[in-house]
C-alpha cells in the first residue's frame, strides 16, 4: 500500500502536543487494519480527539473511496471503543452518532 504524503503532517501535528512521534507507517497500519501499536496509542487518541476533520480528510484523500470508507470505519470504531471525545465536526465526518 502506498503511503500518502498527507499522512506525515497529521502525524507531526499529533506529535507536536506530546513527546514522542507517530510514524506515518504506523498510522497507515492502523488505518488499514484497525490495529494500534502500543507505542503510538496516546498520539493516535490525541489525533482523533484534537485534530480537525479536514486534516484527517486530506490525509485519506489519496486513497480510493472504498478504502477511505474502511479507514474511516477503523477511526470511528476505535473512537467508540476507547470512548474518545469527538468534536461535532469529526462526528459528522465519521458519521458517528
Domain map (residue ranges) of the chain:
7-94
Rounded CA separation 80/96 (Å): 9
Report helix angle 24-33 to 7-16, nearest 10: 110
What's the pLDDT tens digit per position in 36-72? 998 899 999 999 999 999 999 999 999 999 999 999 9
Q: What pTM value is reported for the model?
A: 0.92
What lies within 8 Å, CB to CB, of 91 at 6+ separation is 97
Instruction: Please choose, from the candidates 60, 88, 58, the residue with its C-alpha nearest in 3D space to the C-alpha of residue 74.
Output: 60
Amino acid at each position: 500500500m502506498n503511503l500518502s504524503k498527507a499522512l506525515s503532517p497529521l502525524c507531526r501535528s499529533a506529535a507536536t502536543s506530546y513527546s514522542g512521534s507517530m510514524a506515518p507507517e504506523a498510522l497507515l497500519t492502523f488505518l488499514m487494519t484497525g490495529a494500534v501499536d502500543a507505542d503510538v496509542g496516546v498520539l493516535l487518541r490525541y489525533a482523533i480527539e484534537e485534530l480537525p476533520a479536514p486534516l484527517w480528510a486530506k490525509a485519506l484523500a489519496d486513497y480510493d473511496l472504498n478504502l477511505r470508507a474502511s479507514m474511516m470505519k477503523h477511526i470511528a470504531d476505535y473512537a467508540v471503543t476507547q470512548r474518545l471525545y469527538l468534536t461535532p465536526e469529526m462526528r459528522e465526518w465519521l458519521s458517528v452518532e
